[in-house]
Amino acid sequence: MITWKDIKYTTLQKMFSITGSSTTIPNDSATMEYVNAMPAACNEALQLLSTSGKFIVKEYQYINFPVDNLLGKMFKSFSVVGDSIEFKHESAKSYYFKLSGKPDSCKLYCGEILVKDFYPESIDNQEEPFDYDVFSVFKGNISFPEVEVGEDEEEPDLTPRIVISATSPVVVCNPCFYDCEFKDDVSVPIYEEYIKIKMSDAVKDFYQIAPAEIYDLGDSGNGYIVADKYFQEADKTLVIPREETGIYVIHYRAYPKQITLATPDDEELALDPEVAALVPMYMASVLYMDDDASIAAQYRNYFEVGREALSNGPMLPKREKFVTSSGWA
């Protein structure tokens, strides 16, 4: 493997006539001025190569086994005007719904006990009031009230129910009750027909979804076939149908790990040999520009020629498993 010290030493060799073992880097004041500037130059080279030359391809797995909606498949929108609408289920422990417009009342009850008012009277006085022209998302765990029951009294009905009343048009979308409690309100999953996975949030080094590189392992995790039931929004968001349960293997293009002044000399860099050969070329072209612009320009030309060759690399054929849905073959 190529180490950070190997990259630094090769760069210095292109700039100066240094000799000796590559385990020793000159530490005189003149040389150290260039060495201290190397991390930034190296990061520039790696960014150029990994985004338009030799992609760094990594793998991310997304497990899609969503919790069922107690209300059934409610991928629906309900219009409420001059009326009220109610959703309830005795086994509910958490909820999710979207609402647009300004309702007269939107509250969560446990039986007849109010446990949450989604649109309190003071809402218009808040610094950031609701935007009633778009859907607002409401989700969370249900906080059941503590009710004292006497010896001869029956347990009260604490069935969770959401009641929405409106005199002006209001739209309620995808109401959902889950039969489980989640870690916190933020962790309650959305209930949508299509699940959006923002890859830049899922993996920190995400750059781009690799084209045609998503595989479906099926419900058991033992299958292996190229996934075709998905969509892609721009370069960063993957969209899959909620009902298509299973394990998805997503190959993505990654940004390189950043080099800093604190990076140890013996740290191994995950670089292919053809990439490691080009990085010192770029670094020398940047660092040596003030000393000898002609030599620096030559190194930059060598780098660009090499980068162009990498971007036009051969595409190897892939073998894919073939499955027929009709069973004719």
Q: Give CA–CA dist 283/38, Å, rounded.
A: 7
Are both 214 and 277 inside the same structural domain?
no
- Same domain, residue pair 219 and 282: no
Instruction: State percent of the chain over pLDDT 70.
Output: 89
Q: Is residue 325 part of a domain?
A: no
In a domain, 317, yes or no: no
Whether the predicted pLDDT of 178 surpasses 60: yes
**Residue 71 forms part of a structural domain:** no
Half-sphere exposure of 17 (CA within 13 A, CB side): 0
- For the chain, the residue count is 329
* Residue 151 predicted with pLDDT over 80: no
Model pLDDT for residues 229-265, shown as the tens digit of each residue: 889 888 789 999 999 999 999 999 999 999 999 999 9
Does one domain contain both 213 and 241?
yes
Same domain, 88 and 121: yes
261, part of any domain: no
Q: Which amino acid is at 106?
A: C
Question: Is residue 169 located within the same domain as residue 215?
Answer: no
pTM of the model: 0.76
Q: Are residues 96 and 24 in the same domain?
A: no
CATH code for the domain in which residue 114 is found: 2.60.120
Q: Is the pLDDT at 329 greater than 50, yes or no?
A: no
> Distance between CA atoms of 54 and 116, rounded to whole angstroms?
53
Report the Cα 217 to chain-centroid distance in Å. 20
87 class by beta-carbon count within 10 Å (0-12 exposed, 13-18 middle, 19+ buried): buried
Share of the chain above pLDDT 90, in %: 66
Number of structural domains the chain divides into: 3
For the segment 7-14, the average pLDDT, to the nearest whole number, is 91
User: If you compute the radius of gyration of the chain from its CA atoms, what whole number of angstroms results?
Assistant: 30
Contact 83, 165 (CB under 8 A): yes
167 and 199 together in one domain: no
Quick one: pLDDT band at residue 276, thresholds 50, 70, 90? very high
Q: Per-residue pLDDT tens for 97-121?
A: 999 999 999 999 999 999 999 998 6
Average pLDDT (263-285) is 93
210 lies in the same domain as 298: no
Q: What is the DSSP letter of 201?
A: H
Least confident of 144-148, 189-193, 280-284, 293-297: 144-148
Range of the domain at 305: 2-54+272-311
The predicted structure's pLDDT at residue 135? 93
Q: What is the mean pLDDT of residues 8-12?
A: 91
Q: Are 19 and 163 in the same domain?
A: no
Taking the CA atoms of residue 113, residue 116, residue 119 and residue 125 in that order, the dihedral angle to the nearest 10 degrees is 110
Domain contains 264 = no
In a domain, 100, yes or no: yes
In a domain, 260, yes or no: no
CA 192 to chain centre: 17
Q: Which one of 187, 208, 234 terminates a domain?
A: 187
Does residue 328 have a pLDDT over 70?
Answer: no
Residue 61 structure tokens: 């797995």
Residue 244 lies inside a defined structural domain of this protein: yes
How far is Cα 250 from Cα 215, in angstroms, rounded to an integer?
A: 7
Question: What pLDDT score does 326 carry?
Answer: 54
